[in-house]
Structure 1
Amino acid sequence: MSLEFRCIEAEPVPPTAQQHMVRMRDGIRLATDVYAPAGGGPAPAVLVRLPYDKNSRYVFMDKVAERFTARGYVLIVQDVRGKFRSEGATTAWTGEVNDGYDSIEWIVNQEWSDGVVGMFGDSYYGFAQWSAVASQHPALRAIVPRVTSTGFAPSVMNPGDPSIRRVPWMEGAIYLATHWVDNHTYDYKPDYSVRPLRNAFEQAFEMVGSRSTAFDLTVPSPIALDAYNATHPYDARPVPVLHCVGWFDNIGSAHMYDYTQLAKRPGWAAVQYLWADSIDHENNFLHEAPLRDDDDHSANDEALERMLDSYTGPALDFYDIFLKGLKDPGSLPRVRWHLGHVGWQTSEVWPPTDAQTYSLFLADVEAATGTAPGGSLSEQAGTGRVDWRYDPDDLVPSAVPNTWEFLRRYPDESATADRGDVLLFSGAVLEEPLDLTGPVELRLEVESTAPTFDVLAKLVDVGPDGATHLIVRGNAQGTCRGELRLDLGHTGYRLRPGHRLALMIASSDFPLYVPNSGTDESPWLTVAPKPSTQTLHSGVLSLTVTR
């Protein structure tokens, strides 16, 4: 089968930027744009290091620069090594520590620099910030990592709590195979009917004429990378951090894992701040979901201007404190978070001090394979057991083709909830609001007829009309009978009167996740995956709530 693809090349440098080719310690030069404020004179600098073309409409850095320079900051935006205009090999997650250090060193030696540097940005350019933290350059005074993680190799590891064995993430593999081939980006859809599944990407690499080193290092099995040059950011010199988290971000669990781990470390705890919004990875808002054309900031310039207020505003206020010293750090709320369907809240800690753990048991389990409402979420433990099937020839379909921008579609998932291979447990219809304000965890006693099995869970909001919408999700892979723990992430979300809470459990979610082989064989390499039957013996859902 012949695949069609689109090659995305570098856009022109805007007239408001001056591009430099900045030399790294090994002689490789990185393309670096400087946006300077009017008036001249030394000023604090904010560095953004990204792999998505510094001049593309997708990253809108020229628009970001307008807001940064208006507040008196020099904005520096750089294509990372091996991407677009920058030289060097194209290999994700390696080399960023040294390149981050050398880029900061170049900045502080420019006449427009006052010697103080911050960093900013989403996703991979959040990882680049953590790499610079690991480099421990003394000029780095504050970072604002958005919708990101200190982890890496998402196609296999789904970074976050390392104690949970997770289901391989197909979407992460696509990311590596399209963004990390060479200097360009390639847009294509793999042929998922190919077996073994890894060969679907071999077709793509042959079509493009180049391979992804990052893909080869992580699929089907990851090679251990020393991404941080032996010093993990957790162990580096603490710098003030504004964690910008999305409640609907597909790597939000990983970001909150970083936040909660650093909160346990005395040096880091004192300089951590949290800003969490009801957004997805691409900065789409819950209150606008599903998106209309006039709210789509990826194509609509007016919508982009509106989005940039929340995108840059918290960061600039943070830099005014930690780069310019204009206010006392005590003036900034330690935690600012959005309660979905309500609005912005502040607290000194996360979860808020008035939040409590609320446990619901999975009960009436024999009814869970039927149509809504299925089994029940009860304050009392139930008895019994229920089987559900995994059929590699009839996989549970993914709700959206791209969870990076989940809120673009924000689909009704009631049809999936009614499938016979999906367990459904529903709570009572609420008479009063119920606010979810913290972590969500699911613990199951489960076994399978297969040596490995996948469990994918979604906590959903069911409206009075039956419309079913995602709140949080998580997954884990089991290998034997016993307790399986699923981290469903953190959220700030109000369930309104007339709505009910529900839990969906399945063993596939395709093509978002790689289907299980049903054997000991890698799911990437199997030619004939086998069906299996899973048995749920008991379960408890732990919520963090305020009433």
Structure 2
Amino acid sequence: MIGKHVWFKGWMLLALMNVGVCQQAVRAEEKKPAPPPPYVLEGNVMVSMRDGVKLATDIYRPIQHDGAPVQEKLPVILTRTPYNKTGAKKQADYFTRHGYVFIAQDCRGRYASEGVWHWMTDDGGDGVDAAAWIGKQPWSDGKIGMFGTSYVGGTQHAMALAGAKELVTVIPVDAVSNCGVQSMRNAGAFELRFWNWIMLNAGKGSRAVQDEATAAMLKEMADNRFHYLANLPLRKGTTPLKFAPEYEDWLIGAMSHGANDDYWKQNNILEKASSYKDMPVYLVGGWYDSWAGNTTANFGVLSKALKSDVYLIMGPWIHGAQAAFSHGQVDYGRDAAIPDELAWRREWYDHWLKGKDNSVGKAAPFASKVRIFVMGTGDGSKTEKGMLLHGGEWRNEKEWPLARQQSTAFYFGEGGVLACEEPTQDQGSTTFTFDPKNPVPTIGGNISSGNDILLQGAWDQRGGPHVWNWPNPIPLSARNDVVIFETEPLAQNTEVTGEIEVKLWASSSAVDTDFTAKLVDVYPGSKDWPGGFDLKITEGIIRARFRDSLKAEKLMKPGTPYEFTIRLYPTSNVFKKGHRIRVEVSSSNFPRFDVNPNTGEPLNEHRRTVTAENTVLHSKVHPSRIVLPIIPR
């Protein structure tokens, strides 16, 4: 026993000595200085615009072995952002290591830049001026590629539409465009994520926050957004937003202006594709991104207007999440992600800015002009993280929409039937009550800037504690103001890939109202999902006063049937054998869209609401239907 005791003491002593050595190694590692950055930073260079306003610009130049800037003239990667240029250090580190000058610039009126901020309207001219300045610098070879997502993707479109001479290529990811069509004013309705964006960003990086007391007030406003959300519409001078007047002015104007006219002309690519600079463009979007419909629409017009290569990739992603393979409650498999968010961009820049013969045009994600992720080929099991394994796979295509699609009408019928057979009955309708004070809650979808008020991406259409305005575990289909049409269980896998429209015949007791449509992949009950899973695929809306044209308002005559076209976001999904295809029709989707008061008053000026009796018609004379782009097996 004594020998064992001595052995044990010796072993413990040795272990403690090893621990001590390890701790010393860790402390030594902690003391080891971080490697120096691969660049020399010249920060807050104030670059003059044509009107004398100066924009704060950070210039990252690659260094030589001696630490001095590389003297060779190099191509430039430029990002223009309203979100603080100092947040671009990761990108600067990467691109300078690979032989680029990286430049980050605060947009006008944001953070360190002078001037007054306006939504995108200055970014074309400012971008042209910034590019001209860059092109004259001794470290620039005169070639610029642009980098960025969302608003920062929109600044790329703005520069391209303004024809910046030095601009060689762009990669607009989930980018702001066509704001009066779909995604800001969406068929006349207003996307409240932009109300949320203003409520948050008026107090971040604006001129107003230079005063501490004003900054505190704007933060308090942002912290109480749920209370302000319950008291819409927003009126000038009635909230703390008045202390950031350019933000208040823009938001009130945007919420008041429904028509897609000159008010929304900035980044209107659909009507101004001929103004877009002829250069290689790589459009990146996601089926659950807030700009998905504009991304595919932009590809349609730019691929015809430009002689240069235009590429499109659409993944199963939410906004800005190309490196992820799951969101909401759904997993698409690891292959859905592009894991290195910078390397694939560099491949594109290397090809067009440096002339390298690489994977562009040869291998993923550049093997073809169109690359899409077809969702829904998974087994529907529950993953270790409790997510639905919806799965999917990548596919290269030659065009968008796909030439081989078969546009197939699925008609609404009595008893909630959804079928390919046209209605034969002369009469058929379903009436529901739409109360603006009790709107249908939003659960997931094509969201950005949702920050707390909206869930992004793919979710079971069932409430719970994760849905602030539908906290109980009740499916939305149980609501009386949600009208359901669904197929029988499918006899075979059915792929739906492309642009989707609902042709809805409807009437209302009101002079104005909204109609919404949602496409749902209905999973049957299983061991993992005993109650099934109602997976939101895509959705859309139409404000009745814009039924004939997005450019002009026209109120309805109560009780009169009209045909409405509801444009859903594009998608690619396999509805598997045994699943059902469902369409949910209602008149609200809150807080995704502002709620229509049904009164016909000017937009954002109502002080009252009325309950509407809305009727969906589904008869031989009024054949409501969803038109699905079916891909042959």
| Structure 1 residue aligned with 2:248 | 212
Query: How far apart are the structure 2 equivalents of 1:381 and 1:529?
Result: 37
Query: Offset at 1:95?
Result: 1.3
- Please, what is the CA RMSD of the aligned residues? 3.2
Q: What are the equivalent positions in structure 2 for 1:5-404 lying under 5 Å apart?
A: 17-19=41-43, 20-39=45-64, 40=70, 41-56=72-87, 61-152=88-179, 157-159=180-182, 165-180=187-202, 182-183=206-207, 187-188=222-223, 189-192=225-228, 195=231, 197-199=233-235, 202-206=238-242, 211-221=247-257, 224=263, 227=266, 232=272, 234-265=274-305, 268=306, 270-283=308-321, 287-290=325-328, 309-327=339-357, 330-331=361-362, 332=366, 333-340=368-375, 341-364=391-414, 367=415, 375-382=416-423, 383=425, 384-400=428-444, 403-404=447-448
Matched residue pairs, number? Answer: 503
Code of the aligned partner of 1:315: R
| SS of corresponding position for 1:133 | helix
| SS of corresponding position for 1:279 | coil
Q: What are the equivalent positions in structure 2 for 1:503-542 lying under 5 Å apart?
A: 503-538=583-618, 539-542=624-627
Q: What are the equivalent positions in structure 2 for 1:493-508 lying under 5 Å apart?
A: 493-508=573-588
Query: How far apart are the structure 1 equivalents of 2:264 and 2:410?
Result: 40
| Residues 421-470 of structure 1, C-alpha deviations (whole Å, 9 max, x = no match) | 00111123234322222111111111111111101111111112321121
| SS of corresponding position for 1:213 | helix
When residues 55 and 320 of structure 1 are mapped into structure 2, their CA distance, relative to the original with a 3 A threshold, is same
Code of the aligned partner of 1:30: L
Query: Offset at 1:237?
Result: 3.2
| SS of corresponding position for 2:190 | coil
Query: Offset at 1:255?
Result: 2.2
Does the CA-based 8 Å contact 1:440-1:488 persist in structure 2? yes
Query: How far apart are the structure 2 equivalents of 1:38 and 1:72?
Result: 9
When residues 530 and 284 of structure 1 are mapped into structure 2, their CA distance, relative to the original with a 3 A threshold, is farther
Does the CA-based 8 Å contact 1:284-1:408 persist in structure 2? no
Code of the aligned partner of 1:454: D
Code of the aligned partner of 2:156: Q
Query: Offset at 1:273?
Result: 0.8
| Structure 1 residue aligned with 2:529 | none
**Which residues of structure 1 form unaligned runs of 5+?**
1-13, 296-302, 368-374
Does the CA-based 8 Å contact 1:130-1:233 persist in structure 2? no
User: TM-score, normalised on structure 1?
Assistant: 0.83
When residues 386 and 225 of structure 1 are mapped into structure 2, their CA distance, relative to the original with a 3 A threshold, is closer
Does the CA-based 8 Å contact 1:358-1:544 persist in structure 2? yes
Code of the aligned partner of 1:495: F
Match 1:478 to one of 544, 561, 576: 544
Does the CA-based 8 Å contact 1:278-1:286 persist in structure 2? no
| Structure 1 residue aligned with 2:510 | 450
Does the CA-based 8 Å contact 1:198-1:524 persist in structure 2? yes
User: TM-score, normalised on structure 2?
Assistant: 0.72
When residues 320 and 79 of structure 1 are mapped into structure 2, their CA distance, relative to the original with a 3 A threshold, is same
Query: How far apart are the structure 2 equivalents of 1:523 and 1:104?
Result: 39
Code of the aligned partner of 1:18: E
Query: Offset at 1:391?
Result: 0.7
Does the CA-based 8 Å contact 2:441-2:590 persist in structure 1? yes
Query: Offset at 1:45?
Result: 0.9
Query: How far apart are the structure 1 equivalents of 2:59 and 2:313?
Result: 27
* Residues 268-277 or 140-149, more deviating: 268-277
Question: What is the aligned-residue identity percentage?
Answer: 26
Highest CA radius of gyration, 1 or 2?
Answer: 2
Query: Offset at 1:132?
Result: 0.8
**Which residues of structure 2 form unaligned runs of 5+?**
1-36, 65-69, 210-217, 376-390, 463-474, 526-531, 546-555, 619-623
Does the CA-based 8 Å contact 2:183-2:191 persist in structure 1? no
